Amino acid sequence: MIVKLGYVAMSVELQHASPSQTMTFAQFSKIKDREAAIRKLERIAESNLENCSRLLKHNAGNDIQFFRFSSRLIPLANHEDLLDWNYIKPLKEPLEKLADFLKEHPLRIDFHPDHFVVLNSLDKDILKNSLKTLSMHEALLKGMAINPEHRCVLHVGGGYEDKEKALEQFIHNWGFIKPGIQKMIMLENDDTTFTVKDTLYLCEKLGIPMVFDYHHHLANHEEEDWVSDWERIVTTWKHSALPIKMHISSPRSEKEFRAHADNVDPEMFMTFLNEIKGSVPEIYCMIEAKQKDAALFQLVRDLKERGGFKWLDQTNFVVE
């Protein structure tokens, strides 16, 4: 089984390479000339994409083949007072630059849109804004010449004090979502409301790949045993062109169990890998740790010290 490690959005190793530089609407409003204010937004977005280029080069140099882009690449992209702004057009060149790099150095890219993207909301405006945000992600992916299919991880959404009803609301709202956006989506179990079984219910019913989050399961499992559901999780990927992926992070402490630690506990990760060994030919593991790429490098050092793996390059390995 090949294991490929990835990390989230930004590097702690690279200096001055934030892909999430921003501008508040209050700052935007203070600039008297609206056109000049929009140009400033575009320059910030260009700088964010330029930093993405630096991050991708950093990843290629370290054999990292899995990366999650920040969802904050374009400040104020969907603000209600900027609906006339075609933000993709001025970013055509930096997006093409990323596309060219990815063509030469293929790696798996995805997004995890912010928590305000809620597809099971009863509020039509929340649903509408969620779909606008997903459309922005689709445009970014297409601008980078990436097939948008199965590139956006979402949580199921709100429980609204009736979990069964909330799951059915997701199915109801799904019918209003255009097929292109539907195909982008993967769903993950969360740490407070929707367990593995809840998430699987939707994934199996609607044909959505499920991303298993091990840390979330430990925080919210209602006595469920994830191992007995692993085969079902794997099966949700059978129609995807991409191999299965999962999320790995460790609790900060017993008291702050849901919060992510700086690094990944190698024993916790090995417990997971030993359970699934031989069940899939390849798995991509997204590290959700505070130390970003430094956490990935630390995990690699810990695993190498432990021994017993065949390393394919600097960060990808085989569990035999």
Domain ranges for the chain = 2-319
Segment 148-173, tens digit of pLDDT: 999 999 999 999 999 999 999 999 99
pLDDT at residue 234 in the model = 98
pLDDT at residue 63 in the model = 98
pLDDT at residue 140 in the model = 98
pLDDT at residue 143 in the model = 97
Contact 122, 162 (CB under 8 A): no
DSSP sequence for 78-140: T-GGGTT---SGGGHHHHHHHHHHHHHS--EEEB---TT--TT-S-HHHHHHHHHHHHHHHHH
Angstrom distances, CA of residue 270 to CA of 1, 258, 277, 308: 13, 20, 10, 11
Tokens of 46: 């260009």
Segment 82-105, tens digit of pLDDT: 989 999 999 999 999 999 999 999
Pick the CATH number of 2-319 from 3.40.50.620, 3.20.20.150, 1.10.10.10, 3.40.50.10090: 3.20.20.150
**CA–CA dist 295, 312 (Å, integer):** 19
Contact 215, 191 (CB under 8 A): yes
pLDDT at residue 320 in the model = 86
Contact 113, 131 (CB under 8 A): no
Tokens of 232: 């079902």
**CA–CA dist 255, 216 (Å, integer):** 15
Share above pLDDT 70 across residues of the chain, in percent, rounded to a whole number:
100
Measured from the Cβ of residue 297, the count of other Cβ atoms closer than 10 Å reads 20
Q: Is 223 helix (H, G, I), strand (E, B) or coil?
A: coil
pLDDT at residue 83 in the model = 87
Q: What is the chain's pLDDT, residue by residue, as a tens digit (320 residues)?
A: 999 999 999 999 999 999 999 999 999 989 999 999 999 999 999 999 999 999 999 999 999 999 999 999 999 998 989 989 999 999 999 999 999 999 999 999 999 999 999 999 999 999 999 999 999 999 999 999 999 999 999 999 999 999 999 999 999 999 999 999 999 999 999 999 999 999 999 999 999 999 999 999 999 999 999 999 999 999 999 999 999 999 999 999 999 999 999 999 999 999 999 999 999 999 999 999 999 999 999 999 999 999 999 999 999 999 98
